[in-house]
Structure 1
Amino acid sequence: MGRRAPEHPARAAPPARRTGPPQAGPEPHAPPLGRMPRTDQLGSEPPPEAHRPLAATLRRLDDGSLALVVTAADAHLLHEATRSDTPVTLRVANGGTEHAARAALARGRRALADGPLGDAYASFTLAGVLAAGAVPELALAAYTAAADTAWAAGDRSACAAALDSALAAMSAPTHPLTAPSNTAPSDPPGTIKAGATPKPSNGHLHLRPNLSDPPGTIEMGGSPGARFEGNRPDTPDTQLADYLRGLAALLRESPAEAIAALRRVAAFEGDSPDALHRASAAALILGDTDAACRIGLRALAIARDRDRADLTARALEYLAYAEMRAGRHARARTHAREGLDEALRTGRANTAAHHRAVLALSASVEGDTAEVEAHANAALDTARRCGLGQTGALAEWALARSDLARGAPDVAAARLAGLVRQGHFGVRHLLLPCFAEAAALAGRKQEARAAARELKLWAASGLDRAAQAQLARVEALTAAPGTPPEAIDAHYVRAIRLHPSGSGDFERARTQLHHGKWLRRRRRPLLARAVLREALHGFERCGAVLWAEQARQELRATGGQRAAGEPRTPGALAALTPHQLRIARLVATGATNREVARSLSLSVRTVDHHLRNIFASLGVRSRVELARLVADTT
């Protein structure tokens, strides 16, 4: 998950037991101690400096061992103590554990907004380890944030570990520290000597929601081992438990369990903005983009009303992404621009990168290649620097869709191939339809069919409502040689029927475009024209300029009349046939004959033949002259 700060653990073990709370202190710089000296070797006259208390932090390392870290100014004292076997006594100041946990949580939030996600995850898990037992609600918040961070980074195992720890923090009893067994009566309260093991007191956490208490009230006391019972299914606490269980089941690839839990999360009807935000996220995971947008708007409104700046930023991120997924590109662009402006104003570089990725996706629909590249490259720059796996995948997706729109499926397939093989676990299934389409058009049939098989498994899981329509389109595009035409036609018809009405204009129009192309090649021009006109109208409704131009070119190739408002072909280009005009325009963009052939589903020899006739008709002798003529007459 990006660069890791050396003083943080990359993975913190779930808080199964206390290992000793740290003293809050400045950021450490000293290496961990390999051995703790014994306490029975205290010299009779230690130097005055030895009596000065040192602020230190106890940290868990990757291998499960503990390290005592101090400031650079105090490091020499511990090195000297190690060499001379001088005793070291650790004393926990009152409130030190909670203070250190909150400090780590604050560091995590800062890194999550504007730093490497590896650092954010390490700080969040550290806060969870420190707070577990003593401040369980703080541990729960820390581990939940760690899970969200790992999800954004695309680290599946780290996300699963954080979710398990969050669920443990939600149900585990609290264990405040008392003096260990080898502490002398004369020692100050809270003293822990080297080699001692803290022991829990008899206090336990008991979540006992009373009707008079606000949701999520935590009370101390009750019988040992008391757990979160979730007696009220409409409380944010119960919903949070379902949310954590649903995500954990998703990572375990248990779709039935995940769907059941996430549906309960999405059904929340209270007015807690945090719970509504989780409900929107759950609906989005389930592919119910309409519900995700509706709930996300409500969460955003309440967060703003309650001056929750932190939640407002997250709600805008999810809302813009949900609207993009729902096909509401204009609304997605509006919220993404609002979120981008706010993120830049408040110094949230990672949030800004996410909004840029959404803006790039919206621009890829509209066909603004320059805007796609500007936003996507800016998002990728931050994503690579800070380990934003999800943001990086969305930006690459935007570039691939732009490649498809301008008739370069081979470039799109090459861009997406790595992301489909080992990309972000929460995004790669969404990329499968786009990759399969690009690979099929680029002649990479084997890879396209492999993606279609995986997409079929994903669609069968029930976790994405849009997957069935996209699967039908992909099955038509990747049909094996010898497949009966009736079967291919049935795939297209089924896909068009399954695309959602209203917000699904773009995806439906893409299916209709492919269907119309296929019908034209099957020499069924009348039906092809009808389907292509529907595709053209769909692209025009959502402002997909380059895609609409593809539909117009296909319509002209069928011999159909000009669409209303479509300009006539100007000047010398009017001498070309519709098919020749399409080839000329593609060549003018810099496409090779092979790329033109793939884009138009022709053989390279056929393209060569048409290009010679184009040169003769227009009186040009090179591709450069052709490009200049096309530019001058457009």
Structure 2
Amino acid sequence: MTGQTTAESPCRIYGRTPELAAVAALSDRLRAGYTGALVFVAEPGLGRSALLAGAARQFRPGPVLRPRPLPRDPRPYDGLRALLCAAAEVRGAAPPRIAFGAGRPDGTSELTSLLRRFLPGSVEKEPLLVCVDDAHLWDAPSRAALGLAARHPDPRLPLGLLLSMAEHRAADTEFTGLPVLRFGPLDDGAASALLRELTGEHLNPAVGAELLSEAEGNPAVLAALARRLTPGQLGGHRPLPRPLVDGAALWATFGSPLEPLPAPTRQLLLLAAAAHESDPSAAGADASLVLRAARAAGLGPAALDPAEAARLVHHDGDRITFAGSLLRRTVYTGAPSSHRRAAHALLASAVAADRHPLRRLLHLALAAQGPDAALAARLDAAAAPGTPTSGMERSAALARAAELTPQEDARTARLTAAADYARLAGHTRRARRLLAATRDGASPDTVHGRAELLRGSLALRDGPVGDAYQALLMAAERLDHCDAEAAAEARMEAMDAAWAAGDPVDCLAALTETRSPSPPSSPTPPPQDPRRDYRAGLRTALVGQLAEAESPLRRVLDLAREDDDPVRLLRAGVAALVLGDIAAACRTNARALAVSRSRGLASLTPRILEHLAYAELRAGRHARARAHAQEGLHAAHRAGQRNVAAGQHAILALVASVEHDAAAVAAHAGAALEIARPHGLLQAVTLAEWASARADLCRGRPFEAAARLGPLTRPGPGRGHFAVRMLALPCFVEAAVQSGASSEAKAAVEEFALWAAQGADPQAPAQLARCRALVAPPDDTADALYELALDRHEAVHGDFERARTQLLYGKWLRRRRRPAEAKNRLRDALVSFERCGAPVWAEQTRAELRATGDAPAPVPAGGLAVLTPQQLRIARCVAEGATNREVALILSVSPRTVDHHLRNVFAVLGVRSRTELARLVDRAERSGAQP
């Protein structure tokens, strides 16, 4: 996101970095005495006018001409007349009377000639910028003059042309060959920032998320929403209107290219838009259906030609696709309700009822004028599971059936089912809208229980997980006596919510078997029931009895080898992680992902990708973890699952702490914490803080690392997630030792030893030996422990952890004045870091090698390059704010040695204070000039 403002600008420009850079480049070209042109092309409402206005305000090299908009049907040369009127305003004179249309003997554009005549002298002394908004609406001769001036500039006139036009007119011949910059909707960050500016600080987050989804990144639609809603609606205190954006607001933004179309074309477009209502997620409308309905209305296929010529739709033979969903919504909602019902009646008559019974019934229902219980029942039956149709088509059908249903109980049940289908299809916000329309009346427990189950499932993926936990337990209580299967699923999801929150007590409560008897229709669980084994195994593991948990969890894994249910496979992956079988976790989650992709389960795929990325991370395969987490992050955003996105950001932060610099870690960790803290996602918080601490360690900042990890790894209230804190404990031990907190480090090592003995983490035995070496007394005990750690690393995969042990061992050997051995260990560490793609850690290893004399120091070239390796390390520590004593602890030297080196650093660099030194180091690192 980029924001730029001036004292004159009423609103910042968000998310237009490339466009603003292009305008700046054009200004620089004009300032240098050259000509230039740039055409902004975008759909309506995306900010073409705002960009032109901002460019005009910020142009300083010379005058700016901004002609006023032309009338709807301009006369020939009205555009040039408007431009001369703008020039007259600049000069403070009356516009001249000029005869247009005379040819130019020198072949120059009429525009250039007129400007030279009417602005003599000034245009030759300083550059001129001409900004024309909606240039496609100018008359043809004026458009031709603009295009000729841009293609054949007058070298005596440093003229810049900045034009904007709609996407459907970008191919006009008058502007052929001009440099074009197309831009699309705002990204989520820029749209959110704009919405905050438009609505103030009292916007309810859930309302904001819905407004962003409705606007689809279009600034004009966002502005219309902000104007339409009251403060109570924006704050979430009053219900939102439906639809959020009415037809009049959409038509005001997107109607201009539709108005000139012939009536038959607009009627056919309405048929296409109405056909799309049966499945809003489909890629266009069924062309054969639309054209059959059009023929019934007396319209031939040629009626679509004007819309295609204007690039409003694309017809590829099978589908009719609108240029954008907002344009499609404009066509549909902008038509009178009677026209919409007539379009659906035509489509219903054209649908092959034997092949698409649900689609025909849905169009009949959309053509109905009032409640119709019989039609609603037929729609409900046709949308039953197992019918060959998409989830979103089922959702649309059940939502319409609910609208036609007069009975409150049946209406609520159908709305809940429609919301559930929308959730499964990955349309979380649509699911929330449908669910919000249900009312908690005197409906049976099965209806309310299913609605509460859905609310909890949605909150689990996008909301405070504490709320999700309570909603899911309430759903289980209501469903226990009427739907044991749904009640069991509600408790499993409640356990997932408690797990994300890091609350083992609530996990156990959710996993406790209900004492309510199963209804007679419920079959007796088979001898090998993976869900029963999963519950039993997790309960046992959560109370610390991993040995007893292995048998039931291993049965879950064994059954997963042949399973094709993605939910059961996902839970089998969790079982594998609890057992410490990382390879099985990767394998099982990969199988779940394949099944989910093949079935198009857009709601489940982001979560599976999160679990798979985490398993790959635990396996030490950081590149694979990054690839899956990045894909999962995009999928989570598409599905509206912010909690899953937070987990993906936390995983990417951990990967970045290996592969990238501190800035990348901070970006992902910050994004994770922004969601995780208010939503109570302790697991994501712990992973993100661990990533930041590991980045601190890599940068030689052990005090900061220890401060981050201390509260998360110590026993007691406020500690980190129960399933993650032990994984981060070796990092804390390293940071604590380097920062002088030896007693805390020793206590942490003893706790880690108990964890390692349970066998839940393959890396733990090697890490334990490394930690014992770090806290060992200054004798040869540490030597044997480092050797033991390296031996144990050989038994498991994980180049990064082995390289960290080699690096710490090499540092220890160098400080024991055993440089030859230190070089060997450090070279091994360097190779391992390079192999696993950890360049920042590799650079730290190279610095240690230089300190042993293994690598020649760079030729002094001024700046930090004149320092010795030890002086450079001390300078960087001091620049980070460390005291002499803290530097001594970090580098394992005496404070007196640090003081001696620091005096030499000051003398060599010519600085007189620690502040000057910090500034010098910061400048050197920003410019990349450090050795």
TM range (shorter): 0.7 to 0.9
Cα separation, 1, equivalents of 2:741 and 2:493: 41
Aligned partner of 2:507 in structure 1 is 159
Aligned partner of 1:120 in structure 2 is 468
Q: After the TM superposition, which residues 13-412 of structure 1 pair with which residues of structure 2 at under 5 Å, given as runs?
A: 96-164=444-512, 167-168=513-514, 173-175=517-519, 203=520, 205-207=522-524, 228=525, 230-231=526-527, 233=528, 238-267=529-558, 268-272=560-564, 273-412=566-705
Give 1:628 shift. Answer: 2.0
- Correspondent of 2:892 among 580, 583, 601: 601
Question: Structure 1: which amino acid aligns with 2:760?
Answer: L
SS in 2 for 1:351: helix
Aligned partner of 2:758 in structure 1 is 461
Cα distance change of structure 1 residues 460 and 501 upon mapping to structure 2, 3 Å threshold = closer
- Correspondent of 1:515 among 809, 826, 829: 809
8 Å CA contact retained: 1:115, 1:386? yes
2:730 is aligned with 1:429: no
Give 1:625 shift. Answer: 4.2
8 Å CA contact retained: 1:270, 1:276? no
8 Å CA contact retained: 1:286, 1:465? no
Cα separation, 2, equivalents of 1:135 and 1:348: 27
SS in 2 for 1:356: helix
8 Å CA contact retained: 1:266, 1:278? no
Cα distance change of structure 1 residues 159 and 500 upon mapping to structure 2, 3 Å threshold = farther
Give 1:590 shift. Answer: 4.6
8 Å CA contact retained: 1:408, 1:595? no
8 Å CA contact retained: 1:413, 1:435? yes
8 Å CA contact retained: 1:173, 1:204? no
- Correspondent of 2:707 among 389, 414, 418: 414
2:863 is aligned with 1:545: no
- Correspondent of 2:740 among 402, 420, 443: 443
Point out the structure with max Rg over C-alpha: 2
8 Å CA contact retained: 1:367, 1:402? no
Deviations along 1:338-391, whole A, 9 cap, x unmatched?
A: 111111122111111111111111111124211211211221121111111111
Q: Under a length normalisation based on structure 1, what TM-score does the superposition of the two structures give?
A: 0.73
Aligned partner of 1:65 in structure 2 is none
| Higher mean C-alpha deviation, range 511-520 or range 131-140 | 131-140
Question: Structure 2: which amino acid aligns with 1:628?
Answer: L
Question: Structure 2: which amino acid aligns with 1:256?
Answer: A
Cα separation, 2, equivalents of 1:148 and 1:570: 58
Deviations along 1:171-213, whole A, 9 cap, x unmatched?
A: x6324xxxxxxxxxxxxxxxxxxxxxxxxxxx36333xxxxxx
Aligned partner of 1:79 in structure 2 is none
Give 1:241 shift. Answer: 1.7
Give 1:246 shift. Answer: 1.2
Cα separation, 2, equivalents of 1:340 and 1:264: 32
SS in 2 for 1:310: coil
8 Å CA contact retained: 1:173, 1:206? no
8 Å CA contact retained: 1:280, 1:291? yes
Question: Structure 2: which amino acid aligns with 1:139?
Answer: A
Greater RCO, 1 or 2 (C-alpha within 8 Å, sep 6+)? 1
Q: How many residues align?
A: 492
Question: Structure 2: which amino acid aligns with 1:266?
Answer: L
Deviations along 1:536-577, whole A, 9 cap, x unmatched?
A: 111122232322122111111111135xxx976644545433
Deviations along 1:379-436, whole A, 9 cap, x unmatched?
A: 1121111111111111111111111111111111111111112221111111211111
Cα separation, 2, equivalents of 1:271 and 1:412: 43
Give 1:275 shift. Answer: 2.5
Give 1:535 shift. Answer: 0.8
8 Å CA contact retained: 1:516, 1:532? yes
Deviations along 1:465-489, whole A, 9 cap, x unmatched?
A: 211111111000011x36x41x211
Cα separation, 2, equivalents of 1:107 and 1:585: 52
Question: Structure 2: which amino acid aligns with 1:365?
Answer: V
Cα separation, 2, equivalents of 1:310 and 1:517: 48
- Which sections of structure 2, spanning at least 5 residues, go unmatched? 1-237, 239-406, 413-435
Cα distance change of structure 1 residues 548 and 501 upon mapping to structure 2, 3 Å threshold = farther
SS in 1 for 2:813: helix
Question: Structure 2: which amino acid aligns with 1:269?
Answer: R
Cα separation, 1, equivalents of 2:689 and 2:769: 24
SS in 1 for 2:721: coil
Cα separation, 1, equivalents of 2:860 and 2:772: 36
Cα separation, 1, equivalents of 2:877 and 2:690: 23
Cα distance change of structure 1 residues 443 and 133 upon mapping to structure 2, 3 Å threshold = same
Question: Structure 1: which amino acid aligns with 2:596?
Answer: A
Aligned partner of 2:770 in structure 1 is 473
Give aligned-pair identity as a percent: 54
Cα distance change of structure 1 residues 258 and 557 upon mapping to structure 2, 3 Å threshold = same
Give 1:101 shift. Answer: 1.4
8 Å CA contact retained: 1:332, 1:362? yes
Cα separation, 2, equivalents of 1:414 and 1:151: 25
SS in 2 for 1:206: coil
Give 1:92 shift. Answer: 7.3
8 Å CA contact retained: 2:770, 2:789? yes
- Correspondent of 1:495 among 789, 809, 814: 789
Question: Structure 2: which amino acid aligns with 1:141?
Answer: E
Deviations along 1:77-111, whole A, 9 cap, x unmatched?
A: xxxxxxxxxxxxxx976xx2222211111101111
Deviations along 1:442-469, whole A, 9 cap, x unmatched?
A: 1111110110000000011122221111
